[in-house]
Amino acid sequence: MGATLEIRNLHARVEGEDIEILRGVNLTIKKGETHALMGPNGSGKSTLANVLMGNPAYEVTEGEILFEGQDVLDMEPDERSRLGMFLAFQYPVSIPGVTVANFLRHAINARMKAQDPESKGISIPEFRRLMKAKMDMLHMDHSFAGRYLNDGFSGGEKKRAEILQMAVLEPSLAILDETDSGLDIDALRIVSEGVQALKGPDLAVLVITHYQRILNYIKPDYVHVMFQGQIVESGGADLALKLEENGYDWVREKYAVPAE
């Protein structure tokens, strides 16, 4: 099985600041695998997600990100997306005046045009069928497509909208950044089932989470613990259970760098 994602000695900081948040991250995710990345608040998990997707608010100072063998560091976020990378945001931004449907049609057409500059994009009937099928899968009301993107959405609706986008765009790598945060148990189940339904031999998943409970629905093959900008522990699904039982204190004790 080829590697979908290879992260080598990745260092990154907020653009314009001195302090490194990622301090040498190494991680390889192969096709079809599901990895969980856990860690206490402030350990760098969300930074890693944003850096992987190319958020210009962060600056990579060292290391490599290879996606399906290609170095993506110099690529804009849209190029990474069109290659098959997807980030489900922890805090999806609202874009008033842009409907969910209009946005997703643009996203699909951007892909089609990148492959074939002559492409006229997806036809309206075909797009409607696609949207309906994907919204049904996620138990979403069809009126959702006409709402402004993330504008006035509840926490659960925002996360469901992220998974809807993933379902429509069919990435080969899905990074789920705290997709479980702010969800009640029903919403968590619906969202997780949606992800579960999209899993397959070609999809690699990186689930970033603080808590273990989403992993009851999205079973990880590997679990990693991030602390102070590095992955400090890796193991199987049982590592998540250990964290759930014992918390992160033992990680802190074992790996904490004394304050300077």
Partner 1 sequence: MVTAVRRRRSDAYTAPSYTLADVHALSKNEPKWLQEARESAWELYEDLPMPTLQDEEWRRTDYRSIRWEEAEKLIKATNASVDVVPSANREPLVGEGEGGTLIFVDGQIVQYEFADSLKQQGVVFTDLRTACIEHEELVRPNLMTKAVLPTDGKFAALHAALWTHGVFLYVPRHVVAELPLHVVMYNTQPGATLGHVLVVIEENAQATMQVEYASAQVDQHSAYIGATELLVGDAANLRYVALQDWSRNTYEFSHQRARVGRDANLDWIIGTMGSQLTKAYLEIEADGVGANARMSGFFFADSNQLFDLDTQQNHNAPLTTTDLLFKGAAKDQARTVWQGMIKSLPKMQKIDGFQACRNLMLSDDARMDSIPGLEIEADDVKCSHAATFSTLEQEPIFYLMSRGITRPEAELMVIEGYFDELLSRIPFERVRERLQAAIEAKIIG
Task: State in angstroms the smallest separation of the CB of 82 from partner 1.
Answer: 5
Q: Minimum CB separation from partner 1 for residue 87, in Å?
A: 6
Which residues, 6 or more positions from 45, have their beta carbon under 8 angstroms from its beta carbon? Answer: 37, 38, 39, 177, 178, 208, 210, 226
Do 253 and 66 touch, CB atoms closer than 8 A? no
Closer Cβ to partner 1, 89 or 222, answer by number:
89
Q: Which helix (H) or strand (E) holds 87?
A: strand 85-88
Please report, as ranges, the residues that interact with partner 1 according to CB under 8 A. 53-57, 76-78, 80-82, 86-87, 89, 92-93, 95-98, 102-104, 106-107, 110-111, 114, 148, 165, 169
Q: In whole angstroms, how close is the CB of 49 to partner 1 at the nearest point?
A: 10
Q: Least separation, in Å, of the C-beta of 126 and partner 1?
A: 18
Phi, psi of 74 (to 5 degrees): -90, 5
HEC sequence for 184-212: CHHHHHHHHHHHHHHCCCCCEEEEEECCC
Burial class of residue 123, CB neighbours in 10 A (0-12, 13-18, 19+): exposed
Closer Cβ to partner 1, 169 or 237, answer by number: 169
Between 82 and 224, name the residue whose CB sits nearer to partner 1: 82
Between residues 91 and 255, which has the closer beta carbon with respect to partner 1?
Answer: 91
Closer residue to partner 1, CB minimum distance, 28 or 99? 99
E strand spans, 101-193: 148-149, 173-177
Nearer to partner 1, 12 or 53 (CB): 53
- Residue 22 CB neighbours (<10 A): 26
Please, what is the minimum distance in Å from the beta carbon of residue 65 to partner 1? 15
| Comparison of 83 and 237: residue with beta carbon closer to partner 1 | 83
User: Residue 97 Cβ, how far from partner 1 at the closest point, in Å?
Assistant: 3
Torsion angle of the four alpha carbons 220, 86, 50, 113, in this order, in degrees rounded to the nearest 10: 170
Cα(188)–Cα(212) distance, rounded to whole angstroms? 12
| Shortest distance (Å) from residue 107 CB to partner 1 | 4
CA distance 254 to 92: 34
